[in-house]
Homo-oligomer: A and B are copies of this chain.
Amino acid sequence: MKTPSGQRNGGPVTLQEVAAMAGVSASTVSRILNGTAVVSDAKKQAVEEAIAHLGFVPNPVARGLAGGRTLSIGVITQAIDSPFYGLAMRGIEETLASAGYSALFVSGHWDAEAEARCVDVLRSRRVDGIIILTGRLSDTALRNYARELPVVVTGRKLEAPGLYSLNFDNVEGGRLATDHLLQLGHRRIACIAGGDDHPDAVNRHRGYRAALEAAGVAYDPKMVVPGRYFEQSGMEALDRLFQLRRRFTAIFAANDQMAFGAMLGLHRRSLRVPQDVSLVGFDDLPAAAYSLPPMSTVRQPVHEIGRLSAQAMLDLLAGKAPTAVMPEPELIARDSTQPPAAEPPAR
């Protein structure tokens, strides 16, 4: 019953067939479908019955061509296989689906040009709106896109018509992580930062520095090494830290993936976490709870961020002002942090 194929003339049921069966015009069916105008109850009834009976599902492709709406939202994620963005995508998919929308995911690969191409692809597919998870596009580019279709962007603060931004407080997150270490008594805290060209990374580092200074601990640039947000680069950053010959009792890594890499590097040097070195990450990936030891980190509610951005998009689409507000960063203390040992650790 449900599947229409082969039921009548082969091929999916069309709006025309519904109209015919209900004895009304196609326009009327369309209006009922879209709630575009008031329709008499009698016809409404008839149409709804016909729809149910035939198992009619509107063709979004035709809809897109005729009305300009495709009921699909483009989502630019940086990497379709990112453990971090994956959760956001799931949140987006769930929220959108509940409103009858589909998500079209494309990967921007942390590259402004690639992202611009993504936008082109998405527009050519006539998506009704675009959600950009962080990304490298300039504010100006975003503003321009927003003139054409609704845009929701995370990872920055930006106000413009047709655009809604959801910014996570990375500075506060970095501060929280560092402060946790400070509270435990650490003073020599190294930092595995992200790249300079990555706003999140810059802000987390800023929070690190602010916490240090607020606690009266001098900021030492040599205690900070850059990374590229992957496990591998966490290990490499650790090597650099040792080359720099600075002593430290704790490390703040600007994301969990680098923290995992650092953990392995520490292990390879026979340094124990947290006995010899405490370690805090950032993001609270699902894997953080299962690392050895389970990792202290700053929770970024990615799944919810996904839901919120989708909700904001739905609001924008409905002509309402979005009210979604980004949750605050939260420190999750697990087993990778503890007070420093009395003796300074290996350099």
Q: Which residues of A contact B (CB under 8 A)?
A: 3, 5, 12, 57-62, 64-65, 70, 72, 79-83, 86-87, 89-90, 93, 102-107, 120-121, 123-126, 148, 231, 260-261, 263-264, 267, 286-287, 289-294
A191–B267 Cα gap in the complex (Å)? 27
B-chain residues with CB within 8 Å of residue A286 when the two chains form the complex:
231
The answer to whether residues A60 and B102 also contact, given A80-B93, A86-B82, A291-B292 and a CB cut-off of 8 A, is: no
Instruction: Tell me how far the C-beta of A27 lies from the nearest C-beta in chain B, rounded to whole angstroms.
Output: 19
Instruction: Tell me how far the C-beta of A12 lies from the nearest C-beta in chain B, rounded to whole angstroms.
Output: 7
B264-A287 in contact (CB<8A): no
A290-B93 in contact (CB<8A): no
Told that A103-B105, A231-B286 touch, could you supply 7 new A-B pairs with CB distance under 8 A? A5-B148, A12-B123, A62-B65, A81-B89, A104-B104, A231-B290, A291-B291
The answer to whether residues A90 and B107 also contact, given A264-B290, A292-B291 and a CB cut-off of 8 A, is: yes
B-chain residues with CB within 8 Å of residue A290 when the two chains form the complex:
231, 260-261, 263-264
B-chain residues with CB within 8 Å of residue A83 when the two chains form the complex:
81, 83, 86, 287
The answer to whether residues A60 and B264 also contact, given A86-B80, A89-B80 and a CB cut-off of 8 A, is: no
B-chain residues with CB within 8 Å of residue A70 when the two chains form the complex:
61
Residue in B60, B62, B86 whose beta carbon sits within 8 Å of that of A86 in the complex: B86
Instruction: Tell me how far the C-beta of A216 lies from the nearest C-beta in chain B, rounded to whole angstroms.
Output: 34
A123–B292 Cα gap in the complex (Å)? 45
A142–B325 Cα gap in the complex (Å)? 43
B-chain residues with CB within 8 Å of residue A87 when the two chains form the complex:
81
B-chain residues with CB within 8 Å of residue A261 when the two chains form the complex:
290
* Closest B residue to A287 using CB positions: B287
A102–B261 Cα gap in the complex (Å)? 33
14 A-B pairs whose Cβ atoms sit less than 8 Å apart in the complex: A3-B120, A60-B125, A61-B64, A61-B65, A80-B89, A81-B86, A81-B89, A86-B86, A93-B107, A102-B104, A102-B106, A260-B287, A263-B292, A267-B292
Instruction: Tell me which of A3, A263, A287 has the highest count of chain B C-beta atoms within 10 A of its own C-beta.
Output: A287
B-chain residues with CB within 8 Å of residue A5 when the two chains form the complex:
148
A294-B61 in contact (CB<8A): no
B57-A120 in contact (CB<8A): yes
A96–B325 Cα gap in the complex (Å)? 36
Instruction: Tell me how far the C-beta of A338 lies from the nearest C-beta in chain B, rounded to whole angstroms.
Output: 16
A109–B121 Cα gap in the complex (Å)? 28
B-chain residues with CB within 8 Å of residue A106 when the two chains form the complex:
93, 102
B59-A124 in contact (CB<8A): yes
A276–B90 Cα gap in the complex (Å)? 38
Instruction: Tell me how far the C-beta of A7 lies from the nearest C-beta in chain B, rounded to whole angstroms.
Output: 14
B-chain residues with CB within 8 Å of residue A82 when the two chains form the complex:
86
B-chain residues with CB within 8 Å of residue A292 when the two chains form the complex:
263-264, 267, 291-292
Which 6 A-B residue pairs are closest in the complex by CB-CB distance? A81-B86, A292-B292, A81-B90, A61-B64, A260-B290, A231-B290
